[in-house]
Amino acid sequence: MGLVTCKPERDAERQNRQIETQIRAENQANKRKVKMLLLGVSDSGKSTIVKQMRVNYLDGFNETEVVNAIFVIRNNIIDAFKNISNIILHSDINVTPEEKERLHILIEIILDILVINTIRQFGCIKLFFERFTTHPLVPDHIHYFYPNLERIAVANYIPTTEDLIHMRQTTLGVHEISFDFTKHTIRLIDVGGQKTERRKWIHFFEGVTAVIFICSMASFNQTVEEEPKSFVWESSLNRVQNKVLVRSSGKAKVEKPGMINRLDESVELFKSIRENGFLRNSNFMLFLNKVDLLAKKLSKIAFSDYFPDYKQWINGDNSVPSVAEFIESMFREGLEAEHRIFAHLIQANVTSNVEYTFGLCCDVIFEKNLDDTSLE
């Protein structure tokens, strides 16, 4: 009789062990799943990072995307040249009557890429690229596309991977990719950086292992329209619920009323995100992007003209290392001691640079996850 009553107990113990083993296996599998958010203001380089991840860890771009990119790239160039033409006509650059007529047509009419290719040799255009390479109204991708105009204008043009990396396309909504990295599965989520898109961010904050925040250091001489004061986070768990996400610090040079410095915008947005309750235990990676464009601008522009406080900085010279260090300090200012930030200078349009930096970030994230697991 004793043997009969013991058998159900042994079966129950075996089932319990099986359940516990299954739970441990599922927990280990979940530890290998990493949810990352890509955040930042518009034109910071977030989408470029996503494209680099696809090149490095997935299959790159499919045929449909390459074909669609032809239209987007050519429109990038046309839009940029409309801005360039307008700047030239309002500058002291010498323009011949024929050139002036063509530039006015370019501004007022939607033209084919072939027309852009015919005016690229104009003296005023060449002079513009010599004198106004750092103009805040000129998108930085045009400095890549301008030397490639002849290739892009041909009828049978097929974009290269490098072309797609430099292509500018506004991110609307949410874009997500998943890929394997070492023994982990990365779920990378890119949400639009426009102010109207930021209301959607809160829905993706739960369960985030790491936040990669992208800032364009070269945006220090650019401005954006100021956010209405009524804008607040849509979350009762946010400790800064009534804080204006985007506001001028008063330190940066602002050219027009109602406009704020774009670098200020990025810093304020980062701090608001960093203080969000959902992300308290998330790793924060700060990618200070466009170091190459920053170097070009600093060769012609004094950073302190836009951020006067920089004159009291440690070095105060106009070098990239010193300015980058100052910009990083802007992001760290006022944060609590437990708010650790891992900052990296990057050039998002260089594939090898992004691959190397992302690897460094993952080393930190995976090591922290391992530490957290050992404490449980």
Q: How many CB atoms lie within 10 A of CB 171?
A: 17
2 is in an annotated binding site: no
Task: Look up residue 167 and give its DSSP letter.
Answer: -
Ligand-binding annotation for 190, yes or no, is yes
H or E element, residue 333: none
Distance (Å, rounded) from C-alpha 9 to C-alpha 111? 82
Residue 290 annotated as binding site:
yes
What token pair was written down for 213? 């925040």
Q: Nearest 5°: phi and psi at 307?
A: -130, 85
Q: DSSP letter string over 336-356? A: -TT--EEEEE--TT-HHHHHH
Which spans in the chain are helix H? 2-31, 46-57, 63-89, 97-108, 113-119, 123-131, 142-145, 149-152, 161-166, 262-274, 291-298, 320-332, 351-375
CA gap 135, 199 in Å, rounded: 31
At 210, which helix (H) or strand (E)? Answer: strand 210-216
The two most distant CA atoms of the chain are separated, in Å, by 111
Q: Is 171 annotated as a binding residue?
A: yes
Token pair of 93 as six digits: 């650059």
Q: What angle do CA 118, 123, 129 make, to 5 degrees?
A: 95
Residue 107 tokens, joined:
């501004």
Residues whose CB falls within 8 Å of the CB of residue 312, separated by 6 or more in sequence, listed in order: none
Residue 350 assigned ligand-binding role: no
Q: Is 222 a known ligand-binding residue? A: no
Q: How far is CA 156 from CA 111, 112, 113, 153, in A?
A: 18, 15, 13, 9
| DSSP secondary structure string for all residues of 351-362 | HHHHHHHHHHHH
194 is in an annotated binding site: yes
Name the β-bridge partners of 184: 181
**Does 193 count as an annotated binding residue?**
yes
DSSP H or E run through 36: strand 33-39
Distance, in Å, from the CA atom of 99 to the CA atom of 323, rounded to the nearest integer, reads 39
Please state the residue numbers annotated as binding site for GTP: 190-194, 289-292, 348
Enumerate the known binding-site residues for Mg(2+).
47, 171
Residues marked as binding? 47, 171, 190-194, 289-292, 348
